[in-house]
Amino acid sequence: MKIRRRDFLKGVAASTLLLAAEQNPAQAKRARKDLPPNAVGILYDSTLCVGCKVCEHACKQANNKVAEHTSPNEPMWDDPQDLSDKTLNIIKRYGVEGQKDSVEGFAFIKRHCMHCIDPACVSACPASALVKNPENGVVTYNKKACIGCRYCQVACPYNIPKFEWDSPFPEIVKCQLCSHLLAKGGISACCAACPTGASLFGPVEKLRLEAKRRLGMEPGKYYDFPVADIESTEVQQHRAGGYVKHVYGERELGGSQVLYLAGVPFANLGLPDLPEDSYVALADGIQYAIYKGMVYPIVVLGGLIYIIRNREEKK
Amino acid sequence: MQERQALGGKVLTVPFKVCAAIALIGLFFIGKRFIFGIGSVSNMNDGYPWGIWIAYDVVVGTALACAGYSIALIIYVFNKGEYSPLLKPALMTSMFGYTLAGISVIFDIGRYWQAYNIFLPWLSNLHSVMFEVALCIGTYILVLWMEFAPVLLDKFKADQLKVRLNRIIFVFIALGILLPTMHQSSLGTMMLMAGHKLSPLWWSGFLPLLFLITAVVIGYAAVIFESLIAAIAFKRPMEMHLLSKISALMPWLLGLYLVVRIEDVNLRGYLPLAFEGGLLGNLFLLENLLFLGALLILAYPNNRQNPQLLFIASCAMLLGGSMYRFNTYIVGFDPGTGWRYFPSVPEMFITFGIIAAEVMAYLWFVKTLPVLPRLTKA
């Protein structure tokens, strides 16, 4: 008995080492994911945004969200400080504390779900309450499946999902790219409302090309800019801004369906510098190496049952 | 004659009543949470969606409850039957620790009334680390109760049932070793997804391995700690012969942990962060110094015979391991954009209530059930 037991343990040790080798964190990543076939998204161009916040209003109207008052004074207007359980889309203005805009520059930024190509929230959710549509790639939420564990909030690299902390029956709240409007052939409410074309809806492939076109523009010269939907014919003439030569969201963490262009460094707009491989790919890779087809766990369980049974019978 | 005995004596002692009072306060706030929502009792927020209920009750709590796992590992896998006297008390604390972690998850999750969704095949997300952890911990709670059941069956003289259970108990023992190995490492994998939000002093591809090692280290440390405390509290002889033998393993485990932990941070180039004097750097150093201290104490065979030093070393391991886990989930986690988190008083009372309930259950069980080894008069 002793010898067999030792052989078994040797086997376990050997396979653990193999596993460890396979599990070398640098190599455990799974392959990157591709853009869904009919992926739609938003190109937000900070240089075109005038900060009118009409998109915030349109978003609240389209998604049945109420106003929120965060200022200590008598409430006068809807003044969300950040995304919240009542605000799925927000315009923020970058400025440096104590500095004049004319010295430090300023810029608007619009924040909402990025609709990642490899979304951490979808991978994290244990109950498939967050899913990525295989056709248009929109990440949607199903409250009937959600258990409220909030792992999506921990996992989201952009801190997008919000939770209804003050409700006894809370839900997760996030931008779903107005999927209820898309289903009726429409576009997201924020883009439909945007008066300057700063928020532009459309197929991601076309938005990527449009972003590239803008990066090639000569600052100060006039160009045509599509408005609302890149597939519509409506255009406006604007002077091209001085762009930072980078399309944020094209490669970050495997890419997203929301893309950003800006005239100031993205880090200033609260968009962190991120690697091209998603953290999901790494976590999945490690889980996959260990639990591939449940082979290792079943082998280990079989071995354990074998040695424990023998031991109990000897007693 | 039985190998184990109930201690007997009064259950309603002063410590028991103090614990009951704390548990009642906790219960009050739990009631408030169910009526007015999590925000009414907790400081958790959209930046810090997990607070002490997850980081302490589940992530640290289940590690403290790895006593049963660690002892089962040494008895069954390494074939050291002499540790059997330590098994039942260890299994019992594991059973309480895991059961209460399971219960605290129910009031932590927002939509508890549909928690079963995780296990509906058409909703289960097999890619989710959370799914794997929930499934493993859920099953392990059942397994622990089955492993402990013979003690209860003895008490109620249900001999037939016990014979039947004994015929299949090896399956539960085997699961009792496999499941913690899986979910304790997955508790580490879980925070891989936090990516840039977790300080590079804690974020690492080795999170699963480091979480597994700390579970085993904390498990053994808890056995030593509980055994010494029980000996003093109930005026029983210390089980020094077993404890010193078990602690001979610890320097190896601690050494392995420290090498992986430090070298991993070093290879990624973040070791200088530890010496910058900030909170995170200091906590990183403290965690590892606690483990190093325990290693240095336990490396000398003479020290392992000394109950005081053994107790100090076990405290250092409990603290170091718990801090590592807590820091990974809360202190080292920074979602950016100015979010802050410090647990509120009601939130802490719910956690204190859970700990109090655990102590009460321990006292009640050891006094009324044959858990601790029977003393033979010398």
Give the 3-state secondary structure of residue B37: coil
Q: Nearest CA to CA, how far is B18 from chain A (Å)?
A: 31
Check residue A1 and give its pLDDT. 41
pLDDT digits (tens, 9 = 90+) for A197-253: 999 999 999 999 999 999 999 999 999 999 999 999 899 999 998 999 999 999 999
Is a pLDDT exceeding 70 seen at residue A13?
Answer: no
Is a pLDDT exceeding 80 seen at residue A73?
Answer: no
- Indicate the range of A126-140, A141-155, B8-22, B78-92 predicted with least confidence: B78-92
Q: What percentage of residues in chain B have a pLDDT greater than 70?
A: 99
The mean per-residue pLDDT over the stretch B43-61 comes to 96
Is A155 in contact with B194 (Cβ distance < 8 A)? yes
* A to B CB pairs, distance under 8 Å: 186
- Nearest-CA neighbor of A151 among A289, A279, A286, A294? A279
Is A153 in contact with B124 (Cβ distance < 8 A)? no
Check residue A189 and give its pLDDT. 97
Q: DSSP letters of B123-137?
A: T--TT-HHHHHHHHH
Check residue B370 and give its pLDDT. 85
Check residue B376 and give its pLDDT. 64
Contacts of A120 in chain B (CB under 8 A): 193, 195
Is a pLDDT exceeding 90 seen at residue A313?
Answer: no
Give the 3-state secondary structure of residue B235: coil
φ/ψ of residue B340, rounded to 5: -130, 155
CA B273 to chain CA centroid, nearest Å: 29
B211 inside 8 A of chain A by CB: no
Is a pLDDT exceeding 70 seen at residue A14?
Answer: no
Q: How confident is the model at residue A11 (pLDDT cuts 50, 70, 90)?
A: low
Contacts of A270 in chain B (CB under 8 A): 336-337
The mean per-residue pLDDT over the stretch B101-110 comes to 94
> What is the rounded distance in angstroms from the CA atom of residue B108 to the CA atom of residue A165?
11
Q: Identify which has the larger pLDDT, B67 or B154.
A: B67
- B30, B295 Cβ separation under 8 angstroms: no
SS (H, E, C) chain A: CHHHHHHHHHHHHHHHHHHHHHCCCCCCCCCCCCCCCCCEEEEEECCCCCCCCHHHHHHHHHCCCCCCCCCCCCCCCCCCCCCECCECCEEEEECCCCCCHHHHCCEEEEECCCCECCCHHHHHCCCCCEEECCCCCCEEECCCCCCCCCHHHHHCCCCCCEECCCCCCCCEECCCCCHHHHCCCCCCHHHHHCCCCCEEEEEHHHHHHHHHHHHCCCCCCEEEEECCECCCCCEEEEECCCCCCCCECCCHHHCECEEEECCCCHHHHCCCCCCCCCHHHHHHHHHHHHHHHHHHHHHHHHHHHHHHHHHHHHC
Q: Nearest CA to CA, how far is B69 from chain A (Å)?
A: 13
**B contact residues 291-350, partner A, Cβ 8 Å cutoff:** 333, 335-337
Is a pLDDT exceeding 50 seen at residue B1?
Answer: no
Is B127 in contact with A123 (Cβ distance < 8 A)? yes
> What is the rounded distance in angstroms from the CA atom of residue B139 to the CA atom of residue B132?
11
pLDDT digits (tens, 9 = 90+) for A287-298: 777 777 778 888
Is a pLDDT exceeding 80 seen at residue A312?
Answer: no
Q: Which residue of A has its CA nearest to B54?
A: A149
Check residue B378 and give its pLDDT. 40
B206 inside 8 A of chain A by CB: yes
**Which of B58, B104, B130 has the most A C-beta neighbours within 10 Å, making it the best mutation to test the interface with A?**
B130
pLDDT digits (tens, 9 = 90+) for A243-267: 999 999 999 999 999 999 999 999 9
Is a pLDDT exceeding 70 seen at residue A5?
Answer: no
Check residue A306 and give its pLDDT. 86
Is a pLDDT exceeding 70 seen at residue A10?
Answer: no
Give the 3-state secondary structure of residue B277: coil
pLDDT digits (tens, 9 = 90+) for A15-69: 555 455 444 554 567 778 889 999 999 999 999 999 999 999 999 999 999 989 8
pLDDT digits (tens, 9 = 90+) for A147-187: 999 999 999 999 999 999 999 999 999 999 999 999 999 99
Check residue B213 and give its pLDDT. 96
SS (H, E, C) B187-212: HHHHHHHHHHHECCCCCCCCHHHHHH
Check residue B165 and give its pLDDT. 87
Check residue A298 and give its pLDDT. 87
Is B118 in contact with A166 (Cβ distance < 8 A)? no
Encode burial over B279-304: b for 16+ CB neighbours within 10 A, e otherwise.
ebbebbeebbebbbbbbebbeeeebb
The mean per-residue pLDDT over the stretch B21-47 comes to 96
Q: How confident is the model at residue A6 (pLDDT cuts 50, 70, 90)?
A: low
Check residue B145 and give its pLDDT. 93
The mean per-residue pLDDT over the stretch B165-184 comes to 90
The mean per-residue pLDDT over the stretch B219-248 comes to 89
Q: How confident is the model at residue A2 (pLDDT cuts 50, 70, 90)?
A: very low
Minimal Cβ distance to A165: which of B45, B170, B171: B45
The mean per-residue pLDDT over the stretch A106-124 comes to 95
The mean per-residue pLDDT over the stretch B234-242 comes to 85
Check residue B112 and give its pLDDT. 96
Q: Which ranges of chain B does DSSP label H, i.e. alpha helix?
A: 14-36, 52, 61-64, 67-72, 84-108, 129-155, 159-190, 207-233, 240-247, 250-267, 271-274, 279-298, 301-304, 307-326, 345-368
Q: How confident is the model at residue B169 (pLDDT cuts 50, 70, 90)?
A: confident
Is a pLDDT exceeding 70 seen at residue B114?
Answer: yes
Check residue A21 and give its pLDDT. 46
pLDDT digits (tens, 9 = 90+) for B331-370: 999 998 789 999 999 999 999 999 999 999 989 998 988 8
Q: How confident is the model at residue B310 (pLDDT cuts 50, 70, 90)?
A: very high
